Amino acid sequence: MTSNPEQDLSLCRHEESLLRRITNRIRRSLELEEIITVTTAEVRSLLKTDRVMIYKFHADGSGEVIAESIYENRLPSLLGLNFPAEDIPLTARELFIKSRVRSVVNVDTQEIGQIHLRDLDNGETISEEIRYRSVDLCHVEYLTAMGVKSSVIAPILYQNQLWGLLVSHNSQARLISEYELEALQMVVDQLSIAIAQSTLLTQVRKTAEREAIVNRVATLLHSLPTIVLQPALEAVVAAFNGVGGRLCIRNAAFDSDNSNVTSLTECLIPGNNCLKLYICGQQPVLPQQTIYPLIEQYSVWQEHYKSSNYDVWAILDIYKTSSLRTLQVAFQPTKIRSMLIIPLQYRQKLLGYLSIFRDEIDTETLWAGQYDSDQRQLYPRLSFEVWRESKKAQAQKWTVEEIELARELGKHFGSAVQQYELYQQVQAFNENLEKQVKRRTVELQRTSEQEQAVFKVITEIRESLDTATIFQTTTKEVCQLIKADRVSVYRFDSDWGGQFVGDFEAASPHWSNESELGINTIWNDTYLQDTEGGRYRNNETFAADDIYKMGFAQCHIDNLEQFQIYAFVLAPIFVGQKLWGLLATYQHTGSRQWKASEVNFLSQIAGQMGVAVQQAQLHNQSKEQTEKLAEALDDLKQTQTQLIQTEKMSSLGQLVAGVAHEINNPVNFIYGNINHVNDYAEDLLSILDLYLQNTPNPSPEISDRIFEIDLEFLKEDLPKTLSSMKVGVDRIRQIVLSLRNFSRLDEAEMKPVDIHQGIDSTLLILQYRLKAKPKSPDIKLVKEYGDLPLVECYAGPLNQVFMNVLSNAIDALEDYSESQSNPHSSQITISTALGEMEGNVKSVVIRIADNGPGIPEALKARICDPFFTTKAVGKGTGLGLSISYQIIVDKHGGVFKCDSEPGLGTEFWIEIPIKQITKSHHQLP
């Protein structure tokens, strides 16, 4: 075969282009079907043959055409057709794997050419030319029947195994060059990479799908408050594409009396009621005469798992599994043919079975020509027409991935079933414990009721820190709990007499008390006064069941009869270490046998009352101290505010005065000399004009210089420049004067001042804030000045008031403009006029109003409080308006108030007397 350089060059270019397209396709997509479809079309275009196809081998050695590209229907389509394993001999497959052989067949010349990439003996890579030999007549007849005159085959390998073939067919004889074979080899190498990537992608997808199934089932098993197994069973059946399923588990197998758990084998014995069955979809139908109502009760399960090897049992065909012969009759009414048995275990203990059923299916395989799989074809087939091989009632194979998924799901079900059993055991324990609790509750009820009563009273006492409430609550609760006629609180005074400070009387028609006990009733007991509390000093509680049987003196009995007291209990109340009073419980209707528990209860309540009284006293002391501290805090805030303002004004005044002084000296120098500079410039220009008049033809050097400096423009612009400089210096002097007027360091004492001059000085300092900004337009200033006389005041602090109010107005307008979608026309109006204060005192009124958002009513009352601010953190201290209020009201005896409505703006009213009647003795803030 001769070599054509131009043709070889063209093939090289086609080869590079082909490889780029195929490589780009592999990089853009991981979908194998898309890649092989494009590859067949590109290779056919490169080789210019009639058909290029990709043939993939099956596990049994047969294969299928999975991709195909045909030129103008010159050859019939073989896409989707299967070829038997015998069509490609085993020896040919071994050569494809070991030597990476590529073969070229020419039917007309009946020659086959082969080129080996690797040495058959040592596997080393070699590079040889195509070696031709005679082709078998059988092979020639095979290709002729297919309508092929020439063919090229290159093996596609994946993980050193023969994955498939890249085949090129032509209906006419065609020579193949070594360049084309090299291009084919590069293509199959790229296909090997694509197969590896696609296989990895498939594995990742399967893994993700399996994890999603496991997570979904695990969520159903473990996410609900109670264990629900039916939805999880249905999810598993759907995951395996099953038609039905069963979940058979132990149920109520725990005996709480002896703490034994019945095994699954024992539960499966007919007659036991410790099984629970969940079913989903199609089910086997057991004969009515059988003694086993469940298929799980047949011995086949126990026999299979008697070795304790609880692994998944994948049954491909029920009717071909001898151990299931006794159960086949149950599956015959259904189409179920395959079954997956998943044993559920926990710590080597069998808890149940999860079964998945699959129906039989009908299969159809498309063969390229009729094929007899029972005997080897002795002759090449004469036709490749489609032959359909149909099979009925075929079992569906359980894949390795499905079995692995079954194992993982079995673990989750085993854990869930174990939790279910533990839940049942806990329920049984709870029922048993509840019975015991009921028995113990009867025994402890009396003690519990008393403790609850004590706790209730103590809780209600502790809820209040008011002594009257404590006394009222205690007497009422105790009286109702022990069903006494009266409960009172008696308090000792300094001479150990005392009075009742708390009392509750139970309503009863059985007595009438003309001299009724009650709050503020004084009762001075001589025994208690003489002994300074008697036995109660020793924290003793005294109970009298019947006053006539206690050996009391007659005078004592007479006193008790006066209040119709026939039985009582007195418990001491201690506040700290001091006897404070008594908790008295009286019976008016007659004698009463006081129980020890009742006396003990009253003693506990008295002790808690002492604690409550002490807490109330401490609370009152704390309240008084808090009020004093609040007053001290207010004074401290006022002092702090004054100190801050003093320091602020001092620093600001020094800064402003220093800046004004430093600027003033050079400005005065410039201002004083600028007139002289102007005169000098005029003299020089006049001399220059005379020179030009007397020298009409200057030297070339002077003419060039005149032209270079543009003398005419310089003579015209120099006076203008000096004039502009003079205007600028005047402006600087005005600013310096305004700074000095604002600081008023030379006017610290009260003296007559021009109010308008102070306002204008403040506006000059704030002028830069009135100009437009990127997020807010300029602020229009309207001045409505009246005819005012000089006002006697502190000029510096008054200027600070103007500064604070105007700054707040500018802040409010800027924030309001930024928050509006449409431009807002911001405006500040300053009005001054004469006024009159209380007592016919002549005054001046300065009103500063803006058209901003206004101030809500709830905030308006607090705007002058120290440290209160509505601005963002870092933008305000809350001292400006508070200090302004002090300067106007406290220092000048004036009025400082704010009028505002939301949406209509805000106006500050500043009014001070024209002349101060008395000098203020306060220090300047």
Asked whether 476 and 605 are in contact (CB, 8 A), the reply is: no
Instruction: Give the pLDDT confidence score for residue 133 in this predicted structure.
Output: 87
Percent pLDDT > 90 in the chain is 18
DSSP per-residue string spanning 710-748: THHHHHHHHHHHHHHHHHHHHHHHHHHHHHHHHH-GGG-
Helix boundaries (H) for 284-360:
299-304, 328-331
Tell me the mean pLDDT in the region 906-912.
92
Residue 828: beta bridge partners? Answer: 781, 850
Q: The tokens of 246 are what?
A: 């069963």
129 φ/ψ angles, rounded to the nearest 5 degrees: -80, 170
How many angstroms separate the CA atoms of 721 and 728, rounded?
A: 10
CA distances from 300 to 304, 353, 567, 872 (A): 6, 13, 85, 80
Instruction: Give the pLDDT confidence score for residue 162 in this predicted structure.
Output: 92
Helices 795-819, 596-694: axis angle to 10 degrees equals 100
- In tens, the pLDDT along 343-367 reads 998 888 888 899 999 999 988 888 8
Asked whether 294 and 324 are in contact (CB, 8 A), the reply is: no
DSSP per-residue string spanning 92-115: HHHHHHHT--EEEEETTTTEEEEE
CA angle 459, 462, 466 (to 5 degrees): 140
Asked whether 179 and 186 are in contact (CB, 8 A), the reply is: no
pLDDT greater than 70 at residue 545: yes
Asked whether 779 and 699 are in contact (CB, 8 A), the reply is: no
CA angle 481, 483, 488 (to 5 degrees): 85
Instruction: Give the pLDDT confidence score for residue 2 in this predicted structure.
Output: 43
For 539, other C-beta atoms within 10 Å of its C-beta total 13
Q: The tokens of 279 are what?
A: 């079913």
Instruction: Give the pLDDT confidence score for residue 911 in this predicted structure.
Output: 93
Tell me the mean pLDDT in the region 814-834.
84
- In tens, the pLDDT along 451-508 reads 676 677 677 666 667 778 888 888 888 888 888 888 889 889 888 888 888 887 776 6
Asked whether 237 and 222 are in contact (CB, 8 A), the reply is: no
Q: Measured between alpha carbons, how far apart are the two ends of the chain, in Å?
A: 113
Asked whether 564 and 589 are in contact (CB, 8 A), the reply is: no
At 97, the amino acid letter reads I
| Greatest pairwise CA separation for the chain in angstroms | 154
Helix boundaries (H) for 160-257:
178-222, 230-239
pLDDT greater than 70 at residue 746: no
pLDDT greater than 90 at residue 131: no
For 901, other C-beta atoms within 10 Å of its C-beta total 13
508 φ/ψ angles, rounded to the nearest 5 degrees: -155, 140
For 903, other C-beta atoms within 10 Å of its C-beta total 9
Residue 497: beta bridge partners? Answer: none
pLDDT greater than 70 at residue 743: no
**Burial class for 671, CB neighbours closer than 10 Å (0-12, 13-18, 19+):** middle
How many angstroms separate the CA atoms of 803 and 799, rounded?
A: 6
Q: Which of 236, 328, 331, 309 is nearest to 279 (CA)?
A: 236
Q: Which of 878, 820, 881, 880 is nearest to 851 (CA)?
A: 820
Asked whether 522 and 497 are in contact (CB, 8 A), the reply is: yes
Q: The tokens of 63 are what?
A: 């294969």
**Burial class for 819, CB neighbours closer than 10 Å (0-12, 13-18, 19+):** exposed
The upper half-sphere exposure of residue 467, i.e. CA atoms within 13 Å in the direction of its Cβ, equals 17
Rg (alpha carbons) of the chain, rounded to whole number: 56
The upper half-sphere exposure of residue 268, i.e. CA atoms within 13 Å in the direction of its Cβ, equals 18
Helices 32-47, 178-222: axis angle to 10 degrees equals 170
Contact partners, residue 624, CB within 8 Å, separation at least 6: none
Q: Which of 352, 359, 251 is nearest to 302 (CA)?
A: 352
Instruction: Give the pLDDT confidence score for residue 919 in this predicted structure.
Output: 46
Tell me the mean pLDDT in the region 319-342.
91
Asked whether 345 and 310 are in contact (CB, 8 A), the reply is: yes
Residue ranges with strand state E in 779-885? 780-784, 791-793, 827-837, 841-850
Instruction: Give the pLDDT confidence score for residue 921 in this predicted structure.
Output: 37
Given the structure tokens 């004889």, which residue do they identify?
173
At 170, the amino acid letter reads N
pLDDT tier for residue 8 given thresholds of 50, 70 and 90: low
How many angstroms separate the CA atoms of 340 and 405, rounded?
A: 11
The upper half-sphere exposure of residue 800, i.e. CA atoms within 13 Å in the direction of its Cβ, equals 30
Coil, strand or helix at 488: strand
Residue 784: beta bridge partners? Answer: 831
Residue 353: beta bridge partners? Answer: 248, 343
Asked whether 395 and 337 are in contact (CB, 8 A), the reply is: yes
Coil, strand or helix at 733: helix
Residue 151: beta bridge partners? Answer: 105, 169
Q: The tokens of 374 are what?
A: 């029972």
Helix boundaries (H) for 117-176:
137-146
- In tens, the pLDDT along 550-591 reads 888 888 888 888 888 889 999 999 988 889 999 989 888 888
pLDDT tier for residue 923 given thresholds of 50, 70 and 90: very low
Q: The tokens of 32 are what?
A: 């194998």
Tell me the mean pLDDT in the region 149-160.
91
For 219, other C-beta atoms within 10 Å of its C-beta total 14
- In tens, the pLDDT along 260-314 reads 777 888 888 887 888 889 999 999 998 877 788 888 888 888 888 887 788 999 9
pLDDT greater than 60 at residue 871: yes
How many angstroms separate the CA atoms of 205 and 209, rounded?
A: 6
Instruction: Give the pLDDT confidence score for residue 168 in this predicted structure.
Output: 93
Given the structure tokens 């002492």, which residue do they identify?
610
How many angstroms separate the CA atoms of 356 and 337, rounded?
A: 11
Average pLDDT along the chain: 81
Asked whether 740 and 799 are in contact (CB, 8 A), the reply is: no
Asked whether 495 and 529 are in contact (CB, 8 A), the reply is: yes
How many angstroms separate the CA atoms of 766 and 143, rounded?
A: 101
Asked whether 353 and 327 are in contact (CB, 8 A), the reply is: no
pLDDT greater than 90 at residue 244: yes
- In tens, the pLDDT along 418-440 reads 888 787 777 777 877 887 777 77
- In tens, the pLDDT along 886-908 reads 888 888 889 998 888 888 889 99
CA dihedral 620, 625, 626, 631 (to 10 degrees): 140
Q: The tokens of 449 are what?
A: 């009721």
Instruction: Give the pLDDT confidence score for residue 910 in this predicted structure.
Output: 93
Q: Which of 475, 526, 523 is nearest to 499 (CA)?
A: 523
Asked whether 732 and 699 are in contact (CB, 8 A), the reply is: no
Tell me the mean pLDDT in the region 592-599.
86
Asked whether 295 and 261 are in contact (CB, 8 A), the reply is: no
How many angstroms separate the CA atoms of 708 and 692, rounded?
A: 16
